[in-house]
Structure 1
Amino acid sequence: MSWKPLFEPPQNPMLPIEGDDRLFPIRRIFCVGRNYAAHAAEMGNEVDREAPWYFNKSAQAYCAGGSKIPMPSETQNCHYEMEFVVALDRPASKVSADHAMEAVFGYGCGIDLTRRDLQAQAKEKRRPWDLGKDFENAAILGALTPKAQFGDVNNQQIWLDHNGRRVQDATLSDMVWSVPEIIAHLSRFYRLMPGDVIMTGTPAGVGPVGPGSHLKGGVEGLTEVEVSFSE
């Protein structure tokens, strides 16, 4: 008997690459929680300086930068969170921080959407955050820039404008956990593989979006990312 799938399996979503006609297939999306002290404080939390911690978004949460999307369903309080994105193109398993960057292909800009009210309800009941974090169009990602073209990650500015008003403004050096430290730590718990994407956390200044909102964000040296919401 010849076996075949019941229906056509979906393809992995793919990110554009600056200066390249190839595309980067997304395998998994890891997100770092509370990686900027000022953001943790504005949410009434403290940074865990013992180790970074994570939540996940499925690849199907991907939304291409430049899209116009509907407001997320079942929420009255959807927040934007600007993020520096790291894309891997080599396996990494229990690597040291000294060798972690060997797995990096490049970097991009991302916006993490959060159904904050659903996240708060989950926290109160000590439940997972999936409904608040992992949903359609919740990971808005722009084009990737290869690592060599971007250079070292240090004090590049990261920012986001909401309807033309600057609401988030920090530098990558403000991250509590650096990119090599994140990759090294994460690789202890997962065998990281080509196509894995890491959203490294958001600075202070997060807030709600509404119908007609427009978001535009960037990291110095990278292609900007933007998204708008239907009225």
Structure 2
Amino acid sequence: MKIVVIGGTGLIGSKTVNRLRALGHEVIAASPNSGVNTITGEGLAEVLEGTDVVIDLANSPSFEDKAVMEFFETAGRNLLGAETKAGVKHHIALSIVGVERMQDSGYMRAKQVQENLIRQSGIPFSIIHSTQFFEFLAGIAAGGVKGDAIHLSPAPIQAIASDDVADAVTDVAVGAPLNGIKEIAGPEKVGLATLVGRYLNKMGDTRSIVADPHALYFGAELNDQSLVPGPGARIGKISFETWFANQPVKA
């Protein structure tokens, strides 16, 4: 199959591209640097010619409410419109576990709009809802800094390794369209504040973690259901300890 991966040079994209190429598929890692821009529409018609599957892994460069909404609306309309003209048979998008439960967040509202555009497009589709990646724990910690401490929600999360995400995206890409949602998550359920504390401790960061029920996550207050999958989710194999043990040593 010919598969185009939008955002194919990013964290999940690059791993997915490698996996699909190893399976013998013709895979194009599309990004603005390669002349494919979903915001302007540049290069879309050309790259999608003869394409069977499109995997959309692109993310907004800004998380500001208006900017992120404009990104997902514009990119979604341009990409899906070009796919319709090209006769693409399967559209896959990576979204977020709990997106529909966190609509106080501008980012989550924008992701919901992206999903709605996909459902309305008429193209056979699969939407993958993933929990947060271990690779973004440092960024979550940075977002919770208040003075000398880090305030984070104690709500449970089942964070996942990017390798497990790439495995799941690859499997969906070579299968039939789901025309629905598949949830994926890591193997361990633990409080967000606790998990970030474990990560910082291993990094030698001695700042204190405050488990604050009112701490916001992408602009939304969390509850015990916000960040965890429901029944039937695909559970990854890589635990936090295994993931951390395999991270490159920083000089």
**TM-score > 0.5, shorter chain as reference:** no
> Higher helix proportion, which one?
2
Bigger Rg, structure 1 or 2: 2
What is the TM-score when the length of structure 1 is the normalising length? Answer: 0.25
What is the TM-score when the length of structure 2 is the normalising length? Answer: 0.23
